[in-house]
Chains A and B, each alone.
Chain A
Amino acid sequence: MNIAVCVKQIPDPNVPGKLEADNTLDRSGKPQIDDSDMYGVEMALQLADKAGGGEVILLSMAPGGEVAGLRTGLAMGSARAVLVSDDALSGSDALSTAKVLAKAVERAGDVDLLLTATESTDGYTGTIPAQVAELLGWPSLTFAKHVEVADGKVTIQRQTEAGYDVVEASLPAVVSVTAGVVEPRYPSFKGIMAAKNKPVDQVTVADLGLDAGDVGWAGARQQIVSVGAAPERQAGEKIEDDGDAYTRVVEFLENLKVI
């Protein structure tokens, strides 16, 4: 079973983010794999292992031929990657990105299952999984907190407001996995060394058969009209616990009449 995983390479989320003059994200820092995508990579490796074979293929769209984040996923054990990198993609919205990733799935070859996170940590639009599925004409099983594949079918536990639903579809299909669904492995030294020689198929928009006018700024059809600082919240009282700080908390709750 061949499993593709969407992997976003993002600026370090612990460094405060900045926008460029054209309102795109400042990507000058060293990109890394989005933590949210580590779960998809790990899940893919486990499912491929269980199925007794097949490849795990990473799919990514990033400027400047960026592979730093892909190398992490390759070091974990993925076989290869497809990287779409093209100046024409600057300014792409979620729908354009989904069009690119859907083409990347086709480029990757015989894919039975596509795994994604539920949303990225930086842009967090959160629509890519079902958009890619719709573009491919595949079922989408979203917000999975448990995934099993057997007999050409994928079955998940889908997070709901009330609990979870057991949802099933036949392959090929798209599954978006929630954080914590599995515990991502740390790449071994051997894995890190091997990753350096694993193939990354770097392609352009034209290679995928897409029109540059349908992606990037040209395809976005939305315009940022203002950017401003959110109102700051002020810090209030701060106390050191001397053993009795709880009494101040009780008082605070009393004043608010919640107790």
Chain B
Amino acid sequence: MAVSKTWVFAEADGDKPTGTTLELLTKARELSGTLEAVYVGANADTLAGVLGEHGATTVYAVDPGDALPGVVGAAALASLIGEHAPDLVLFAQSYDGRDAISRLSVKLDRPVLTNGTSLRADGDQVVVGAAIFGGNTLVDTEFEGEAPFLAAIRPKSFAAEPGGGAPAQVVTVPAPDAGRAGETRVLERHVEEREGPKLEEAQVVVSGGRGLGSAEAYDPLVEQLAKLLGGASGASRAIVDAGWVPYAKQVGQTGKVVKPKVYIALGISGATQHMVGMKGSENIIAVNKDAEAPIFGIADLGVVGDVHKVVPKLIEALQARS
């Protein structure tokens, strides 16, 4: 038996599928005969075209109302899986994807493989690759036992490419009763104003670390440089832990994985936990006072110096050009 049906737990950013959703669909086209999506949200009709273009023939859609999407998604998936029996269900390693795969694994009593960065099918075996120890070791793991196999894949693990399919057929399914879990309510949604691109999609990412010295240095150095380069700002775990910047900016194993054209690390020593989130960048520039900092071991251009001296001059030079 080969993998004959794959499902992707689709997510959206407004009226567009997320980049990771399309990456997963593109990859899944290599694997299976049938490829379908399951989507939790009210606007499946607006996504059907792009989902279809990337390979999904059908999208099962459930409207969660003001419940948490991952919780509703797990309950809907459990009942749909009983009916349609997919061999493999892929999730994005995202906030809602993680809620959904976790609860579904309990409902079906199936193990999960998460943080995947590669995926392949070997006959009826499905193998998920993930990085451990801050990315210096790669581990391939295969599922044993009964399908469906549940895997969560990190953003940017695959390239998204349209395959020219027709719009996916939207099959609306009612929101199932998720018990007490389903009582969780979203009361308000806050969209934080963001100038420039998203962290995971930016061509240039400028991140700051402990070497900035204080929370007050983040704006004038990191934010300012990111803005001038049309990029996004990120952070090491150390300064997120210290409360200088929100978790949303964290780049690393626990945080976001970025692969920009240029990654600029300011005052970041390069803990393994950070490097796993950025070492896939095309080019890395690092500025750090400590000549022995591990970040220099992977930087294409390393500047041994004080960020408080180097970066203001760099900013001034860039401002003078524009």
Interface residues of A in 87-144 (CB under 8 A from B): 93-95, 98, 118-119, 121, 124-131, 133-135, 137-143
* Max chain A C-beta neighbours (<10 A), residue from B74, B115, B131, B311: B115
Say what secondary structure dominates the interface of chain B: mixed
Residues of A within 8 Å of B113, CB to CB, are: 222
Further contacts, 7 of them, CB under 8 A, given A125-B112, A127-B105, A237-B301: A131-B106, A140-B68, A161-B248, A165-B188, A165-B189, A179-B237, A230-B136
Residues of B within 8 Å of A253, CB to CB, are: 229, 262
Interface residues of A in 5-20 (CB under 8 A from B): 13-14, 16-17, 19
Report if A130-B137 is in contact (Cβ < 8 Å); known contacts: A125-B115, A236-B301, A241-B304: no
Q: A173 CA to B68 CA in the complex, in Å?
A: 14
Cβ-based interface call for B309 (8 A) = yes
User: Which one, B138, B180, B246, contacts A138 given CB within 8 A?
Assistant: B180
Q: A245 CA to B94 CA in the complex, in Å?
A: 39
Contact yes or no, A165 B142, CB < 8 A: no
Count contacts between A and B, CB distance < 8 Å. Answer: 275
3 A-B pairs closest in CB distance? A241-B305, A130-B102, A163-B192
User: Which one, B152, B184, B247, B302, contacts A145 given CB within 8 A?
Assistant: B247
Residues of B within 8 Å of A179, CB to CB, are: 237, 240-241, 247, 250, 254
Q: Which of B1-9, B56-64, B160-168, B314-322 contacts A (4 or more CB under 8 A)?
A: B314-322
Residues of B within 8 Å of A98, CB to CB, are: 106
Q: A164 CA to B189 CA in the complex, in Å?
A: 6
Cβ-based interface call for A206 (8 A) = no
Residues of B within 8 Å of A221, CB to CB, are: 110-111, 143-145
User: Which one, B144, B188, B204, B300, contacts A222 given CB within 8 A?
Assistant: B144
Contact yes or no, A124 B253, CB < 8 A: yes
Q: Which residue of B lies closest to A242 (CB)?
A: B305
Contact yes or no, A35 B241, CB < 8 A: yes
1/0 contact trace for A207-245 toward B, CB 8 Å?
000000000000011111111111001111111110101
Report if A225-B186 is in contact (Cβ < 8 Å); known contacts: A137-B179, A239-B304, A248-B303: no
Question: Interface extent on A, as a size class?
Answer: 35 or more
* B196 smallest CB distance to A (angstroms): 13
Residues of B within 8 Å of A189, CB to CB, are: none
Cβ-based interface call for A197 (8 A) = no
Contact yes or no, B302 A237, CB < 8 A: yes
Q: A163 CA to B191 CA in the complex, in Å?
A: 5
Cβ-based interface call for A68 (8 A) = no
Interface residues of B in 144-189 (CB under 8 A from A): 144-145, 152, 179-181, 183-189
Residues of B within 8 Å of A165, CB to CB, are: 186-190
Q: A137 CA to B182 CA in the complex, in Å?
A: 10
Report if A137-B240 is in contact (Cβ < 8 Å); known contacts: A130-B98, A179-B250, A241-B309: no
1/0 contact trace for B80-102 toward A, CB 8 Å?
00000000000001110011011
Interface residues of A in 162-212 (CB under 8 A from B): 162-170, 173, 178-180, 183
Residues of B within 8 Å of A243, CB to CB, are: 309
Q: Which residue of A lies closest to B306 (CB)?
A: A241
Chain A residues with a Cβ under 8 A of chain B: 13-14, 16-17, 19, 23, 35-36, 93-95, 98, 118-119, 121, 124-131, 133-135, 137-143, 145, 155, 157-170, 173, 178-180, 183, 220-230, 233-241, 243, 245-250, 252-253, 256, 258-259
Contact yes or no, A180 B305, CB < 8 A: no
Q: Which of B21-29, B31-39, B43-51, B291-299 contacts A (4 or more CB under 8 A)?
A: B291-299
9 contacts between A and B (CB under 8 A): A127-B152, A137-B179, A142-B70, A158-B186, A159-B247, A161-B198, A235-B296, A248-B301, A256-B261
Say what secondary structure dominates the interface of chain A: mixed
Report if A126-B138 is in contact (Cβ < 8 Å); known contacts: A139-B181, A165-B186: no
Residues of B within 8 Å of A93, CB to CB, are: 111-112
Contact yes or no, A134 B253, CB < 8 A: no
Q: A118 CA to B301 CA in the complex, in Å?
A: 34
Q: A211 CA to B93 CA in the complex, in Å?
A: 31
Contact yes or no, A142 B314, CB < 8 A: no
Residues of B within 8 Å of A220, CB to CB, are: 111
Q: A92 CA to B321 CA in the complex, in Å?
A: 57
Q: A146 CA to B302 CA in the complex, in Å?
A: 38
Residues of A within 8 Å of B93, CB to CB, are: 126
Q: A105 CA to B273 CA in the complex, in Å?
A: 30
Report if A134-B187 is in contact (Cβ < 8 Å); known contacts: A124-B253, A125-B112: no
* B100 smallest CB distance to A (angstroms): 8
Contact yes or no, B94 A161, CB < 8 A: yes
Q: A93 CA to B141 CA in the complex, in Å?
A: 12
Contact yes or no, A250 B101, CB < 8 A: no
Contact yes or no, A145 B254, CB < 8 A: no
* B197 smallest CB distance to A (angstroms): 13
Contact yes or no, B136 A227, CB < 8 A: no
Residues of A within 8 Å of B136, CB to CB, are: 16, 229-230
Q: A161 CA to B69 CA in the complex, in Å?
A: 14
